[in-house]
């Protein structure tokens, strides 16, 4: 099964930034529910132009902010495996989509790691991936830092007409 790292189109799209940084969110989006006690950080778009994209990059989160169309799509795909944290953008309705499934599908013996412990060449356990019921997930080693997608999710997303996501193909599963 092919796995992709999920990101956002960033070439010409505005993105959301936290200015000035109020909180350190490193590792915050680690699969644990965060809605109770959540308060939106101060976010602004990095340009004056409002983004047309359904998925918008946020500078501190592993998965983008979503508009209503994207939220409805993710609710259908992920059911209870995503939590939507409301963002205060001065009237524009967006949520931070927090992917909750953290999987241990990385094949540590075949994956190549940097000296910092971060993978740079991924190998996934095909049996583990086949058992996932959810097409978007995090991995234990990068929990709170990255989101991954199955080929099924990428194919379905491309057929929706939604905009803003980008997918980087990773190594095949073994």
- List the chain domain ranges: 2-172
Q: Quick: pLDDT tens for 34-69.
A: 999 898 888 888 877 765 689 988 877 888 899 999
Residue 134's pLDDT is 84
Position 20 scores a pLDDT of 66
Distance CA 100, CA 68 (A): 19
Tell me the two tokens of residue 154: 């990428």
Task: Quote the CA–CA distance of 118 and 121 in Å, as a whole number.
Answer: 9
pLDDT for the residue 10: 67
Mean pLDDT for all residues in the chain: 85
Structure tokens at 90: 């001065």
- State which residues of the chain have pLDDT below 70: 10-12, 20-24, 26-27, 50-52, 171-174
HSE-CB for 12 with a 13 A CA cutoff: 2
């Amino acid at each position: 099964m092919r796995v992709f790292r999920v990101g956002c189109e960033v070439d010409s799209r505005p993105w959301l930034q936290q200015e000035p940084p109020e909180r350190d969110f490193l590792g915050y989006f680690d699969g644990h529910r965060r809605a109770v006690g959540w308060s939106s950080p101060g976010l602004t778009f990095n340009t004056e132009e409002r983004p047309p994209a359904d998925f918008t990059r946020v500078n501190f989160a592993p998965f983008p902010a979503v508009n209503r169309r994207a939220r409805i799509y993710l609710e259908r795909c992920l059911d209870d495996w995503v939590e939507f944290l409301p963002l205060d953008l001065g009237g524009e309705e967006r949520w931070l989509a927090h992917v909750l499934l953290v999987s241990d599908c990385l094949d540590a013996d075949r994956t190549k790691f940097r000296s910092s412990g971060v993978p740079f060449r991924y190998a996934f356990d095909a049996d583990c991936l086949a058992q996932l019921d959810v097409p978007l997930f995090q991995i234990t080693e990068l929990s709170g830092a990255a989101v991954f997608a199955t080929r099924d999710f990428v194919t379905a997303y491309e057929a929706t007409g939604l905009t803003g996501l980008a997918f980087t193909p990773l190594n095949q599963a073994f």
